[in-house]
Amino acid sequence: MQENFALLKRVLKKLHDAGCLNHIVLVGSWASYFYGLYFKSHDYRPLIRTSDIDFLIPNPRNVAPDLDLNLGRVFEELDFVKHFDRSGLIKYESKSLTIEFLVPEIGRGSGGPIKVKGLNITAQPLRFLNMLSEDLLVVQYEGMRIKVPDPVAYAFYKLIVSGRRFKKDKKAKDYDTAIDLIRFLKKQGMSRNITSYFNSLPKPWQKKVSSILEGANNLEILENA
């Protein structure tokens, strides 16, 4: 994990120097690390068990038109190589980590990756990512401003996604991430935020979340939230 985190820091520094960090959000398991830093708490040190670095582009059409970066070259300087997926998505892979860009899927979806011109990359549209782009947290880290999703939104996102997983290990991983984070946030005095966010979800999503928690005999985690 330490070796991978050192490489992640180098990636973030490169993106910072390229003026790119303002346009992207660090999502996925690596975002969890920065929640502990933000709250300045040693009670939350999640075990990072992924080789993926996922960056969300909340508004791909709003990326500054005068921005013309070649992120492929930026990553090549860190010994990442391009990997072309059959769908047309381009990922960047090193020996230990893979970088992928994501965008919220709108409507019925485009059915394939989209090109983000200002960054010269392709991004994969996925459902529910709008949950991670509406409210953001900015973590000051070694002279950089790292954007991550609001932790409450991230926790509920992980719960919903866990219910859509087919592989048991990934389902369990997403569920555990969500529960651990909610428990931590309640200790940070954010119970009202959790209740408010849950009540703001569309009714079908609320039912989905409740069903997932009830199925795991953990519905009480929302009590007194």
Is pLDDT above 90 for 157? yes
Domain boundary residue among 122, 149, 176?
149
Residue 118 shares a structural domain with residue 211: no
Evaluate whether 28 touches 53 at the Cβ level (below 8 Å).
yes
Residue 130 shares a structural domain with residue 169: no
Phi, psi values for residue 60, rounded to 5°: -60, -30
Evaluate whether 199 touches 176 at the Cβ level (below 8 Å).
no
Residue 114 shares a structural domain with residue 176: no
For the chain, what is the domain count?
2
Residue 93 is predicted with a pLDDT of 93
Residue 143 shares a structural domain with residue 160: no
Residue 88 shares a structural domain with residue 187: no
Closest-CA residue to 122 (of 150, 161, 86, 148): 86
Predicted TM-score of the model (pTM): 0.89
Residue 175 shares a structural domain with residue 120: no
13-47 pLDDT tens trace: 999 998 889 889 999 888 988 898 888 877 777 66
Residue 80 is predicted with a pLDDT of 94
Residue 167 shares a structural domain with residue 56: no
105-153 pLDDT tens trace: 876 655 689 888 888 889 999 989 999 988 899 999 999 999 999 999 9
- The range of the structural domain enclosing residue 135 comes to 1-149
pLDDT band at 214 (very low <50, low <70, confident <90, very high): confident
Domain boundary residue among 149, 164, 192?
149
Residue 46 shares a structural domain with residue 92: yes
Residue with tokens 């047309």: 88
Residue 122 shares a structural domain with residue 188: no
